[in-house]
């Protein structure tokens, strides 16, 4: 991982019950007068329309995203033509925000992210994840200039998505352990600030795992996901928030197995990889991870996300061949299929 000399992180971040109402101030502060609005049909109904009404004289064009993808982003850029656009506002979930951040990056204008879900750390990260020809691709773009996380909007997002967000957040616990492993074993650059930002909110939630309730801990969840995104911006790499547990999730995506969300898959991956970290390096507490996921009723078994034991084993073996340059416990220990079988039984995942 290479470090650059400059760092770009969001200039304005607000997490509050009425963050949405700050939009006009933010546009003025960023001197934006002709923005495009990118949203989804549902997000528009739930939140976008009301926000748009308040800033209609700032909006020059509006696009509805139905499916995600690079192509969708490119089409938006093409259809803008040579019109003067000096900002992009994204109001929506992961798909919408991923398209919007690519469009803003392509146009080199500020991007204002107004998430309507808190299902993963993409709400404030410089990473856009798409499926291209059945393959998952992640590209690094500019981070949002402003993030307005409105808790009133986010509280209404489906609980399954909040549970997924929690899974993505606690996955940082393993991701940072893998990162430290890479520092110690292969001398990879390590950034303590980014690592702390990635794991402190996760650890905080884990210490109160016994009483965890996502609706009550919404603000901390959202803060954690935003800090994850900023940590990624800080080192211009998903390293602080993506290790072996994400390789497992990517493997499931590539193989097309199961029906879990990103956060559900990495949550289960976190139980498995935390077990291995605990076993080999005496660091970690997989039971605490599992208990916290159970507490918020997120899946902790393969079956709950439509996976058989064989599929999980295949995905774990396949995960070892994904992104080999990202050194994790999978590269360090190279567990055998037999070993994974034991892990699955002991953790109760499958």
Residues that bind Zn ion (CB under 5 A): 120, 168
| Complex with Zn ion: residue 125 or 145, whichever CB lies closer | 125
| Complex with Zn ion: residue 89 or 97, whichever CB lies closer | 97
SS3 content of the chain, % helix, strand, coil (to 5): 55, 15, 30
The closest residue (CB) to Zn ion is 168
Q: How far is the CB of 98 from Zn ion (least distance, A)?
A: 12
Q: How far is the CB of 255 from Zn ion (least distance, A)?
A: 18
Q: How far is the CB of 120 from Zn ion (least distance, A)?
A: 5
Pairwise CA distance, residues 287 & 279, whole Å = 12
Other beta carbons within 10 Å of 38 = 29
Pairwise CA distance, residues 347 & 350, whole Å = 8
Q: How far is the CB of 138 from Zn ion (least distance, A)?
A: 9
- Residue 264 parent element (H or E): helix 262-281
| Complex with Zn ion: residue 87 or 165, whichever CB lies closer | 165
The pair of three-digit structure tokens given for residue 81, joined into one six-digit string: 């033509």
| Complex with Zn ion: residue 76 or 202, whichever CB lies closer | 202
Other beta carbons within 10 Å of 21 = 16
Q: How far is the CB of 337 from Zn ion (least distance, A)?
A: 26
Interhelix angle 159-186/218-235, nearest 10 degrees: 40
| Complex with Zn ion: residue 94 or 110, whichever CB lies closer | 94
Q: How far is the CB of 124 from Zn ion (least distance, A)?
A: 12
Helix ranges (H only) for 44-158 are 49-54, 70-80, 94-107, 151-154
Residue showing tokens 């616990």: 173
Pairwise CA distance, residues 31 & 87, whole Å = 9
| Secondary structure (3-state) at 188 | coil
Query: Which pairs from 137-140 meet CB under 8 Å and 24+ separation?
Result: 137/70, 138/238, 139/70, 139/102, 140/236, 140/237
| Complex with Zn ion: residue 86 or 168, whichever CB lies closer | 168
| Complex with Zn ion: residue 52 or 121, whichever CB lies closer | 121
| Complex with Zn ion: residue 20 or 250, whichever CB lies closer | 250
Q: How far is the CB of 266 from Zn ion (least distance, A)?
A: 6
Q: Which is it for the CA torsion 64, 140, 137, 214, positive or negative?
A: negative
Q: How far is the CB of 168 from Zn ion (least distance, A)?
A: 4
């Amino acid at each position: 991982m290479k470090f650059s000399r400059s760092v770009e992180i969001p200039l304005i971040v607000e997490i509050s019950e009425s963050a949405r109402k700050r939009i006009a101030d933010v546009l003025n502060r960023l001197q934006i007068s002709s923005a495009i609005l990118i949203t989804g049909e549902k997000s528009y109904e739930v939140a976008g329309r009301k926000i748009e009404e308040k800033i209609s004289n700032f909006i020059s064009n509006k696009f509805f995203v139905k499916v995600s993808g690079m192509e969708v982003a490119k089409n938006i850029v093409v259809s803008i033509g040579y019109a003067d656009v000096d900002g992009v506002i994204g109001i929506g979930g992961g798909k919408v925000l991923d398209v919007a951040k690519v469009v803003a990056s392509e146009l080199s204008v500020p991007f204002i992210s107004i998430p309507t879900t808190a299902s993963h750390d993409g709400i404030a990260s410089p990473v856009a994840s798409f499926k291209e020809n059945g393959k998952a691709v992640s590209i690094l773009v500019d981070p949002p200039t402003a993030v307005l996380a409105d808790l009133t909007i986010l509280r209404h997002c489906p609980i399954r998505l909040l549970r997924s967000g929690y899974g993505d957040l606690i996955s940082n616990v393993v991701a940072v352990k893998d990162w430290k492993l890479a520092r110690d074993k292969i001398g990879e650059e390590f950034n303590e600030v980014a690592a702390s930002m990635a794991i402190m909110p996760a650890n905080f939630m884990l210490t109160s795992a016994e009483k965890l309730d996502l609706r009550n801990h919404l603000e901390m969840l959202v803060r954690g996901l935003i800090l994850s995104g900023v940590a990624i911006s800080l080192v211009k790499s998903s390293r602080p928030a993506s290790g072996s547990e994400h390789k497992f999730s990517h493997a499931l995506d590539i193989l097309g197995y199961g029906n879990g969300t990103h956060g559900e898959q990495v949550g289960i991956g976190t139980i498995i990889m935390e077990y291995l970290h605990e076993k080999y390096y005496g660091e970690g507490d997989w039971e605490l991870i599992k208990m916290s996921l159970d507490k918020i009723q997120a899946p902790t078994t393969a079956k709950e996300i439509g996976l058989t034991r064989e599929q999980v084993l295949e995905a774990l073996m396949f995960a070892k061949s994904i992104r080999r340059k990202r050194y994790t416990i999978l590269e360090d220990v190279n567990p055998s299929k037999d070993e994974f079988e034991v892990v699955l039984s002991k953790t109760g995942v499958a």
